[in-house]
Structure 1
């Protein structure tokens, strides 16, 4: 909303308040990373073997079968022993959800992502009704409640319900603060400021999560330690202003002005009341003009090219989100401690953000997303091939496996964040909020399958990597069919979106074009106003 950006320049769009909001956003990154990855940490499966024969030595690998079978030792195992990683007692070995009961852990984990889908839709809808700030607080309180309730899980039904509740918070607990910071920071500093906060503090939180688990020693204390800090988020109500843009869209002009006056006061600016009055008049005029041309998300499916692009965005989001979640969770079976593997994988987050800052505005969105998705698919697949060929991995092979896995995670992380901005720019302005939300929800819906894909390792050890590699390749190929958005007039209406990039081919890349090339020649209809997106959505 152009009027808000203009008055923010007067109130201060990168002053003390913005620095304070970025600092709080750093805290949100730490808390949301611990919440998201707690699902993986509590479900770590340690080495196990049958304990029916106490005289048999432990095997080199986990085993569901008795170590010795004869007349006195049947082929069915009745009890198991465990060798916890670094002494950490996980939920899976406490509940003995291994071997024939492993499906219970998979189902319980899946309910977390079912909750993510429903929470993203439900809380996103509520955010448009009651505001961003209340939903930010509500989402984090729900996340804390779900994790604390999980501590009392004693059976599959309770575990599934409590993980579902915890999953409801995922996305909204991060995204609402992302939106608020983005709206109050000047456009030229949004990508840099937000990406640095995410790159450093989400990375730091992800790296620390496994070692918090090792330090406390068991999954119950781990959930307690990582959940209680979420109780700080309700205090944001006294610091963070509500979205002025949302308040204007709901015609709550007095509250919007109150928020802007608060911004000016914290930033040390003096603004005449006449400026706010003129601002309100401009907003009313703009809203009156917009009311004559309301369009909704269903318009994305009414015309052939726009419908094709929308389905590709849905599939791309599914592929990238699934690969990101599965690769993040795939920390076992590579020959080293899952905690160490988790930390090594998390180190890719900051370099991925820095690479996006350095290259995305140079080579374009399509090239960035498709190339990184293709390369990550190759490295993930090669990891599976090496894992299959190695058998019992030697130290040298383990190093190769870990290196390939970390590189694969790096590529997926770059593709994940680059793809999020790509979708934001391709969807026309008139339905951008609804469209981006739908794309993101489709991605979260697909993560329901990640635990099942990783579970195929019990059938064929490299199968998870092969599946992820194949769908990454398909996602990279389909991304080539999308038009480029860099240095182009972005579509404002559904009609603009249908014509956008009409002359593009699969091999059309921004880095091969002259920056001075005519926008009209490239895609957009003549007369469309320049609308370069600065509200790039970056999700983790």
Structure 2
């Protein structure tokens, strides 16, 4: 007879009291609507990097006669023996003047734009752990507001960043808020929703509204006709976020962890009031007592460095770090690689963004069927192939309408694959890292990914050296990421590691060719034969979907 040890924890107590106060009612609907708004704002903020940096067709205006025909392709040099150029003319996309054309950061000065864009990701590498730490000190809700205000201020200040030092500083400030301006709201909504509805509810909000915000971004720029107008139009809506205080309650789990029981009860009573529920005072008193009892038996928790003390856990952690770097770099670079394919970058950007929703729906449909390992490795493999083929066609084939259609199609499919890999990889890391260090571990994995994204702008800059080079580099990196995913153990239909010892032994007998959909699922059959039912532990971890 198998003895199952049940460990009481604060999360279970919070879910139980929320069921009485309402975990699928008016408040949850309001929070989901606000989460939809956060998704749109996050998309506009993240892709402001791309939109303000579009490079229109340009040519040297020195010595060019009035009304003269411009060259067929962008050119840095003037006519005749001129080797340097002092002024440029541009063929603006739909009348939109980007930061690049306004500042003339092209040709010999193109490195300035690349450096400034990279500072955005330097800001995110610094800001993510700092704001994450502050969220553990002052709460999730204040940091949600602060992060979104930083995003607004950083973008608004960029309007005055018309020299390289100021541009770099202001892009760093803007990047400081990246991730935290989205993740804090994700955590709050997840905690207040019924566990069985979290994955679908949150994923659909992300899929629809992050996709909508991404598709709308270039057309906001066209409507405003200048990069200053675009930043102004996409920054001012952030002023709505402080009003979230009127609806969104603070994290119950955080309040309990800080032993702020009175505030936790006030939040719960507010939830019950909004949802029209009557809850006895004795239920709140029982909740507090159970939380105090759980915290009395809480031992000192291990830290991030403990992940590197044993060989298998160290190997898996390092692979997760490198996989996050590869996937995050590919995702950012592919999503911004919308020029040089033969069509308007505005149209290409919107077409590429349409992959976000189907990628989200595909993860919901398949990830719990074929497994995390197969989902991440296959999607990266296909993405790498399609992106590499795009580079090959750019190199070998002459520019025609048919070639352009093929290039656009391959690029969109490549974006779809890397989006699936990016989002499935987020949940994969959450499940592989042991529970005792999961918060620190997942945060570190995300930070490593953002740090590597520093090189995204430089990879795209290689197009000025050799046209298909960005696609070839990204394709190779995607294929490398697919190979790395094969070295990780599967987590689907398995009890997830809770301790460091569990993490060291997890998937010990797995091979690189072992996939969940090829395994014989004898566990459920054995369990049913013995008259017991086994819970699918992989579903106990909510999907963490990021775009």
Q: TM range, normalised to the smaller chain? A: over 0.9
Aligned to 1:156: 164
Aligned to 1:533: 540
Which stretches in structure 1 are left out of the alignment for 5+ residues?
A: 522-526
Describe the SS at the equivalent of 1:81: strand
| Preserved CA contact (<8 Å) 1:492 1:531 | no
1:92 aligned residue (89, 95, 100): 100
Please give the alpha-carbon distance, in whole angstroms, between the structure 1 residues aligned to 2:369 and 2:284: 39
User: Which one is further off, 133-142 or 279-288?
Assistant: 279-288
Alignment partner of 1:13 is 2:23: yes
How far does residue 152 in structure 1 lie from its aligned partner after superposition? 1.1
How far does residue 532 in structure 1 lie from its aligned partner after superposition? 4.2
How far does residue 115 in structure 1 lie from its aligned partner after superposition? 0.6
Please give the alpha-carbon distance, in whole angstroms, between the structure 2 residues aligned to 1:109 and 1:162: 10
How far does residue 296 in structure 1 lie from its aligned partner after superposition? 1.1
Aligned to 1:53: 63
C-alpha distance after superposition, 1:140-198 (max 9, x if no partner): 00011011111112211111111111111111110100010011111111110011000
Please give the alpha-carbon distance, in whole angstroms, between the structure 2 residues aligned to 1:529 and 1:416: 24
Please give the alpha-carbon distance, in whole angstroms, between the structure 2 residues aligned to 1:139 and 1:220: 22
Aligned to 1:24: 34
Change (3 A) 1:516 1:272: farther
| Preserved CA contact (<8 Å) 1:321 1:416 | yes
Taking the TM superposition and a 5 Å limit, the aligned residue runs for 1:217-256 are: 217-256=225-264
Q: How many corresponding residue pairs?
A: 529
Describe the SS at the equivalent of 1:4: helix
Aligned to 2:433: 427
| Preserved CA contact (<8 Å) 1:187 1:534 | no
| Preserved CA contact (<8 Å) 1:190 1:534 | no
Alignment partner of 1:129 is 2:137: yes
Alignment partner of 1:283 is 2:291: yes
Change (3 A) 1:271 1:476: same
How far does residue 285 in structure 1 lie from its aligned partner after superposition? 1.5
Aligned to 1:119: 127
1:142 aligned residue (147, 150, 162): 150
Please give the alpha-carbon distance, in whole angstroms, between the structure 1 residues aligned to 2:77 and 2:449: 38
1:41 aligned residue (45, 51, 55): 51
C-alpha distance after superposition, 1:455-476 (max 9, x if no partner): 0111111111111111111111
Aligned to 1:524: none
| Preserved CA contact (<8 Å) 2:124 2:179 | yes
Change (3 A) 1:103 1:279: same
Please give the alpha-carbon distance, in whole angstroms, between the structure 2 residues aligned to 1:124 and 1:145: 19
Please give the alpha-carbon distance, in whole angstroms, between the structure 2 residues aligned to 1:61 and 1:410: 30
Please give the alpha-carbon distance, in whole angstroms, between the structure 1 residues aligned to 2:492 and 2:142: 35
How far does residue 531 in structure 1 lie from its aligned partner after superposition? 7.0
Alignment partner of 1:452 is 2:458: yes
Aligned to 1:296: 303
Describe the SS at the equivalent of 1:449: helix
| Preserved CA contact (<8 Å) 2:57 2:74 | yes
Change (3 A) 1:529 1:398: closer
Taking the TM superposition and a 5 Å limit, the aligned residue runs for 1:194-205 are: 194-205=202-213
| Preserved CA contact (<8 Å) 2:491 2:538 | no
How far does residue 520 in structure 1 lie from its aligned partner after superposition? 12
Please give the alpha-carbon distance, in whole angstroms, between the structure 1 residues aligned to 2:253 and 2:16: 12
Alignment partner of 1:69 is 2:80: yes
| Preserved CA contact (<8 Å) 2:191 2:251 | yes
1:400 aligned residue (403, 406, 424): 406
Please give the alpha-carbon distance, in whole angstroms, between the structure 2 residues aligned to 1:174 and 1:252: 25
Aligned to 1:413: 419
TM-score using structure 1 length? 0.96
Aligned to 2:322: 315
How far does residue 534 in structure 1 lie from its aligned partner after superposition? 3.0
Please give the alpha-carbon distance, in whole angstroms, between the structure 2 residues aligned to 1:407 and 1:98: 30
Describe the SS at the equivalent of 2:89: strand
Aligned to 1:365: 372
Alignment partner of 1:351 is 2:358: yes
Change (3 A) 1:285 1:530: farther
User: Which one is further off, 193-202 or 268-277?
Assistant: 268-277
How far does residue 64 in structure 1 lie from its aligned partner after superposition? 0.6
How far does residue 2 in structure 1 lie from its aligned partner after superposition? 1.2
How far does residue 238 in structure 1 lie from its aligned partner after superposition? 1.2
Describe the SS at the equivalent of 1:416: helix
How far does residue 297 in structure 1 lie from its aligned partner after superposition? 1.1
Aligned-pair Cα RMSD in Å:
1.7
Change (3 A) 1:476 1:520: farther
How far does residue 6 in structure 1 lie from its aligned partner after superposition? 1.2
Please give the alpha-carbon distance, in whole angstroms, between the structure 2 residues aligned to 1:236 and 1:65: 53
How far does residue 264 in structure 1 lie from its aligned partner after superposition? 1.1
Alignment partner of 1:189 is 2:200: no
Taking the TM superposition and a 5 Å limit, the aligned residue runs for 1:493-532 are: 493-517=499-523, 532=539
| Preserved CA contact (<8 Å) 2:433 2:497 | yes
TM-score using structure 2 length? 0.95
| Preserved CA contact (<8 Å) 2:52 2:98 | yes
Change (3 A) 1:299 1:462: same
